[in-house]
A and B are shown apart, each in its own frame.
Chain A
Amino acid sequence: MFWRRNKNKNNEYYDIIGLAKTGNLSLSASNDYFLIFGRAILCLLLTVGSICGYASCFGAQFNLWLILGILSLSSLIIAFFKNLKSNLWKNFFYLAFLFTFGFTIFRFYKYVNSGYHALVNLTYASLENYLDIPALVYYEEIIESSYHTITLFLIFLGIFELFIYHIQISEHFSAIKIFLLSFGPFIVPLFINLIPEDFYIICLMTAYIAGIILRLCLHSCKPRKNEKYTVYKKTSPWSGKIKGFSYGTNGITYFFSICFSFIISILIFAIVTITIPYASYQREEKISSLKESITDEVKYFVTFGLSGLFNRYNATGGLNDGKLGGIYSVRPDYETDLTVRYVPLSGEPVYLRGFIGTAYADRQWYNSDTLFEDKFIDETFYKKMCEYDSLVSEYMYINQNYPGSTNCMQITNVGANPKYSYSPYYTNPEQLEIYGAYAETPYRFLLNRTKTYNFYPYYENYMDSIYPVVSGYYDFHYAPYLQIPSDTREEIVEFLVENNLCTDYITTNSSYSQLSGEKLDLIISQVSESLSTDFVYSLNPGITPKNEDFVGYFLNENQKGFCAHFATSATLILRTLGIPARYVEGYVITSDNLQNAQIVEDAILSDYMDTSIINRDFSVVDVNIADDKAHAWVEYYDPEFGWRVFEATTASMEDASGYDFWSSLYGFLNNTSESPNDLDVNNSEMIDSSTVADILYRLLIIILTIVLLGITIFYLYYGIKQYRSYHRSRNNINVRNYYKIICRKICKTYPEFDFIISVSGQLDFIIEHYKVSKSFLSKDITSLASILERSAFSKVDLTYSEYQYSMKMLKILRKNITFKF
C-alpha cells in the first residue's frame, strides 16, 4: 500500500546505494533483567528518599524495614509489568494494580487516614514553631499508635508514588516532573531548616545524580516499537548532515549509572560532612531576604489560604488612593511604612493625614489634586480650601494658649505612598507642600526622606479653643463636600429610613443644613452608634459585586467591612444629612504603637516640644508605623469648630477564625459553613451517608469539570498542532498526508484497495469505482501518479505549481469519494 510503505522500517535504505537494513540493529549488551532491576532501584530510591525522608525530617517514627521490603517488591513488580511488550497484559496489570490498591486502601483507610493525620500534625507542629503561627488546626488521630499508622500511610503513599515514577521513567523520563514530584514536598521541611536523615539524603542524591546522568545521556527511554535503535538525522559540524543511530535504553547502563551515582553520592556526602559539619553550618547560616519575604507569604498562605497571597495593601503603604470595592480582603504586610519621632503627650490616637477625598464617584474618592486636574472644582474653591486649612493651623500655631503647645514631629518615609505628606493635625501650613497644579512633583514625601513638622496636637477635648478663629470664617465653600451620586443617595436614604436614623434631617439636593452645636453632636453620635451596633469590622469583607453600589451593598446587605467602608459610608451619610464631610486616608498612631515605641535617650526634649509651657516629664520616642496602621476616617465640618475628626470605624471585630480558606473549601465540599475542626473527629465513622454522598457528588462534579476542561484543552492543542504542522511542513508531506486521508476513506468501503501497490493502480481503482472520470483525463492520472510517487520517495521537494496542481486534483478526488455500505 502506498502510504504504508513509510511505516515499513525494514525497507529503510541507508544513504549508501542499495544497502538495506533487513532487521533491527541489535546491541549485544542489552539486558532486560538489568533494565527492570535498574528501574526498580531508581524508583525505589526516589520513593524512599522522598516520602521516608520527609517523615524523618519531622522526627516521625516508622518501620523502615517493612517499608523497604514492600516497596522493593512493588517496584520490581511494576518494573516487570512496565517492561512487557504486550499492551494487553500491561493494561490488565494497571487495572489489577489499581483495583488491589483501591481495595486495600479502603480496607485500611482508618489506619492510613490516621497516619496521614499524624504526619500532618507533625508538620504543623514544626511549622508552628518556625513561622510562629498560633492556633493551627490539628487533626485528631483516630488510632493512637502513630508508629504503625505512619508506616502504613507511607507504604500506601510509596506505592502510589512508585507507580507514577515508573510511568515517568520508563516512558519518557521526564526529569523535571520526577524532580517536582519527589522534591516538591521537601520544600516544607527544608524551608524550616529541617533535613532528612543521612540514609535518605544518600538515597535522594543517588537517584537525582542517576536521573541527571540518564536524562542527559539521552538513553533513558526505549525507542518506539521496542527497537533497540532509533534513527535520527543529525547535523555534524565536521560531517554535514548525516544519519545517526542511537540506542534506546540499556539495562547494564542503567545499572552502572546507578552504581556510579551511589558511590559518588557517598563520597560527596562524606567530604561535605567532614569539611563542613552540619552543626557548624547551622550556626553560620544566614537567612536570605527572599526567604524572609517568602516566610511572610507562607504565613499568610497557612493562615488564610490562597487568598492570603493577594488582596493585600501594596508594599508602598497601606493607602489605597481612595479606591474602594475591588479588594476582597485586606492583608497587611506588617512592614514599617513610616518612622515617627515625637513626644507623645497622651494616649489618644494621633492622625497623620494623607489622602483627602473630596468628591465621590464610581467607587472612588477623588482628592483635590485629581479634582483640580479633572476640573471637578474650580480654582476658587481650591484656594479657599487651602486658605481654610492654613487659617486653622496658623491660628493654633500663633495662639500659645492652646494647651497642647507646639510640638515637633520627625517623620521618615520608609515605605509609605510618597504622594502624600502625612502631616499631623495641625501642622504649620508653611511646612506643607503646595497641592495640585502648584506642586513641582507628584511626590510630596519621597522614600527614605525625613520631614520635620511643627504642629499643634489635635485633641478632641480641646477643640473649643479653636472656635474663635474659625467661627469668623463664613466664606466657606461647602458645596463640594455635600456632593453625592444619586444612586448612592437612594441607598443611603433607604438605610436611614429602615433604621429610623435621623430621618428628619435628610436633605434633598445636598443642601447645606447648617447644623451645629448639640444637634450636630447628636447626629454624629447616632450615626456612630448605628455603625457600631449593626456593623462588623472585618478584613475579609469580600468584593462588592459589580452591579451593586459600594455604600449600598455595605449598608444594606453585607454589613461588614474595614475602615474604608465605614469612613465612606459615614461621609456620605453625613452629606445626605446636609453636613459637609470628607473622606481621609492616612496613618494613625495608637497606644499599641506607643507600647512598642523606643525611647530615644540622646534626644533633647526641648527640640520636640515647648517645655516652657508644659513642664512635665515626657520622653522622645521612635514609633514604627506599619501598614496595619493605615486607616480611613471622616472629617465633618462644624460651623463652630471647623473640620473635626469623626472616627466612624466600629470596634466590633469579626471572629478571627471566621474566615479560613481550608474551612471554606471544606464548607464548599460539605455544603455547610462548618469548618472541619467544628466536627467531632472521634465520631468520624458516624458521618451521615447522605453527607458522604453529597461530598462525593461535589467531588465528582469537580473531577468531571477538570476532565472536560482537560479534553477541551487537549483537542485544542492537538488541532493547533495539526494545523501548524500542516502549514509548516514540506509540500511533499502535505500532499502525501492528504492522499493518505483519501486512501483511508476508500479502504473503509473497499478493503481490497489496501493491496494495490502502485499509485497509478490505486488511481485507476478510484476512477473505476467512483464517478470522477469526468474531471480526470488520462494525462491527469499519469501526472498525478508521478507527483504522488515523488512526494513519497523523492528527497527533492515538489515545486509550488506541482503542489497546487496535485492538491487541486486530490480535492476533486476527495469530493467524489463517498462512503458506501
Chain B
Amino acid sequence: MKKPYIKILSITLYIFFFLVNCFMFYFLGNYFNLLFVTAMVIIPIATFFFCRFLSNQVSVSITGASLVEKRNDEFVFHIDINNRGFFFTNNCVIYVDIHNSFFDETTTHSINIPINPFSKNSVSYPVKSRHCGVITIKINDIYIYDLLNMFSLKKKVNVTREIPIFPDYTIIDDNFSMDFSKGYTNLEESTSKGHDSSEVSDVREYIPGDKLQNIHWKLSAKKDILMVKEHVSLTSSQLVLYVELALLEENLLDLILDYTYGIGIKLCNENVPFTYIWYSTRKKECISHTVLSRTQLNDAIFEMLYETPFDDYEYIRNNITRMTGYENFITIGADYVLEKKQEQK
C-alpha cells in the first residue's frame, strides 16, 4: 500500500499562485486567465497520475566497491535508479542508511535524484573511511515526488550492500620488531632443517593439489588408495596473538586492528603460522583462528570486523586462558599499541 506524503510548503506556494491567478481571472475576466486557471486545476491531477505510473517503473540498486583494502583508501559506491518508462520526475528522495557494524553506528541521510525517462541515473559517492569495519549501505524506501513537488509516493525497495574496510597494514614497516618471546624461539627451531615439530592430526584421501611429502606412504600401501597426512603445527599453537577488541577510544581500536593485520601480513610473508584469538560479543565466547596463509588471514580479519567491541576488557583478559586454553600469548591491545607508538616516536 503506497502512502502519499505531502509537502506543505509546495502546496502553499502552489495555492498562492493559484489564488493569484484566480484573482487575475476575477479582476481581468480575460480568456487568457481562464486558460491559466484551467491549467492550474488540471496540472496537479495530471502530475499525480504521472507520479503513480512512474513509481511502478522504477528500481534501485547499489553498486561500486566490494572491498576496501585499507582504511583511509578512497572508494566509490553508486546509487543507481533505473526507470523503464517514459514518465519522469525531478525529485526522487532516497533515504540511505549507512551502518558500521564494528562500531555499531548507523546514520541516515537523504539524497535527491531526478528520474529521467528510459534511463539509469546514478549518484556516485567518492568517500574514504577513517575507521575500519563493514560499512552496510541500505535503502529501504524511496519517495517519488510529483512534478510539482507537492506529494510523494513511497516505494519499498530493500536494497543493501556491504563494503568491508580492512585495517591499515602499512603501520608495520620493515623496522618493526616483535617480541614474540618463547613462541618465536620455538618457531625458529621448528623451521630449521631436519626438524619436524608438527603432529599428524588427521589422515584423509588424496585430493589433487596436495603436497607429495604429506602422503602417508605406508597407509596408502595398505589401503591401496593414496592417503594424505594432515599436520597441525606445534609451533603455531604456541604463537598466539590475542586481539583485544575492547571498547576503547575510537582511534585505539583502529590502531589495534591495524597492528593485528600488519603483524599478520608480516608473519604470512615470512611463512610463520600463528593463531588469532579474540572474544566475540556476538557469540559470547572466544574465537581462535589459525592462520597459515594470506587468505586465512583475510578471513580472520573479516570475521573480526563483524564483531562489536566489548566493555569489560579486564575481565576478558583475566579469563582468556581459561576460555581458550592458551597460556602463552601476545596481547595486542591498547597497552601494546600505545607502547609501540612510543617506541616508534
Contacts and interface: CB of A to CB of B under 8 A. Distances in A.
A230 to B, nearest CB: 10
A286 B32 CA distance: 15
B13 A216 contact: yes
B17 interface: yes
Contact of B114 (A15, A208, A219, A243): A219
B114 to A, nearest CB: 5
Quick one: which of A187, A215, A216, A257 has the most chain B CB within 10 A?
A: A216
Quick one: which of B24, B32, B99 has the most chain A CB within 10 A?
A: B32
Contact of A25 (B14, B123, B130, B145): B123
B268 interface: no
B32 A195 contact: yes
Contacts of B113: 27, 247
B127 interface: yes
B109 A190 contact: no
A290 interface: yes
Nearest to A287: B29
Given A219-B112, A252-B116, A256-B117, A25 B124 contact: yes
Interface in A216-237: 216-219, 229, 234, 236
A17 B131 contact: yes
Given A212-B148, A213-B147, A217-B91, A291 B39 contact: no
Nearest to B148: A216
Contacts of B53: none
Contact of B110 (A196, A217, A245): A245
Contact of A216 (B10, B30, B34, B111): B10
A190 B10 contact: no
B100 A17 contact: yes
A193 interface: yes
Which label, helix, strand, loop or mixed, suits the secondary structure of the A interface? mixed
Contacts of B215: none
Interface string B62-99: 00000000010010000000000000101100010011
A243 B109 contact: yes
A39 B124 CA distance: 26
Interface string A620-646: 000000000000000000000000000
B107 interface: yes
B124 A245 contact: no
A16 B105 contact: yes
A134 interface: no
A253 B116 CA distance: 7
A684 interface: no
A19 interface: yes
B119 A29 contact: yes
Nearest to A254: B90
A745 to B, nearest CB: 34
Interface in B123-139: 123-131, 135
Contact of B108 (A19, A21, A219, A239): A239
A271 interface: yes
Contacts of B293: none
Nearest to B78: A28
A16 B98 contact: yes
Interface string A245-279: 11100101100110010001100110110001010
A288 B27 contact: yes
Nearest to B33: A190
B90 A244 contact: no
B284 to A, nearest CB: 25
A744 to B, nearest CB: 31
A252 B114 contact: yes
B149 A217 contact: yes
B36 interface: yes
B174 interface: no
Contacts of A264: 39, 42-43, 46
Contacts of B108: 239, 242
Contact of A276 (B29, B34, B124): B34
Nearest to B112: A246
Given A22-B128, A217-B147, A236-B110, A27 B39 contact: no
A536 B312 CA distance: 106
A545 interface: no
Contact of B111 (A19, A244, A253): A244
A245 B128 contact: no
A191 B24 CA distance: 10
A195 B109 contact: no
Quick one: which of B35, B119, B120 has the most chain A CB within 10 A?
A: B35
Interface string A281-292: 110011110110
A28 B120 contact: yes
Contact of B17 (A212, A242, A247): A212
**Looking at chain B, what size class is its interface with the partner chain?**
35 or more
Contacts of A260: 88, 147
Contact of B36 (A14, A193, A208): A208
A20 interface: yes
A86 B38 CA distance: 43
Given A216-B14, A245-B110, A19 B127 contact: yes
Contacts of A229: 111-112, 123
B116 A29 contact: yes
Interface string A1-43: 0000000000000111111111111111100000000000000
A20 B100 CA distance: 13
A447 interface: no
A446 interface: no
A209 interface: yes
B26 interface: yes
A205 interface: yes
B149 A205 contact: no
B114 A29 contact: yes
A266 to B, nearest CB: 11
Given A216-B10, A216-B148, A285-B29, A253 B90 contact: yes
A537 B33 CA distance: 45
A205 B129 CA distance: 50
A502 interface: no
B197 interface: no
A15 B27 CA distance: 53
B171 interface: no
A196 B32 contact: yes
Given A212-B17, A239-B95, A256-B88, A268 B121 contact: no
A294 interface: yes
A287 B29 CA distance: 7
A27 B123 contact: yes
A217 B90 contact: yes
B279 interface: no
Interface string B30-67: 11111110110011001000000000000000000000
B61 to A, nearest CB: 13
Contact of A288 (B29, B98, B135): B29
A191 B31 CA distance: 11
A215 B24 CA distance: 21
Contacts of B100: 16-19
Given A14-B107, A19-B127, A26-B123, A268 B114 contact: no
A627 to B, nearest CB: 25
A286 B30 CA distance: 10
Contact of B14 (A16, A17, A212): A212
A37 to B, nearest CB: 15
Contacts of B121: 27-29
Contacts of A253: 88, 90, 114, 116
B169 interface: no
Contacts of B28: 187, 190-191, 291
15 contacts: A25-B125, A26-B124, A29-B116, A209-B43, A216-B10, A219-B114, A242-B108, A242-B110, A243-B110, A253-B88, A253-B116, A264-B46, A269-B35, A272-B34, A272-B38
Given A28-B124, A260-B88, A285-B29, 7 more contacts: A20-B127, A20-B129, A24-B126, A212-B43, A244-B111, A288-B27, A294-B27
Closest 7 CB pairs of A and B: A18-B130, A18-B131, A217-B90, A15-B107, A23-B126, A244-B110, A16-B107
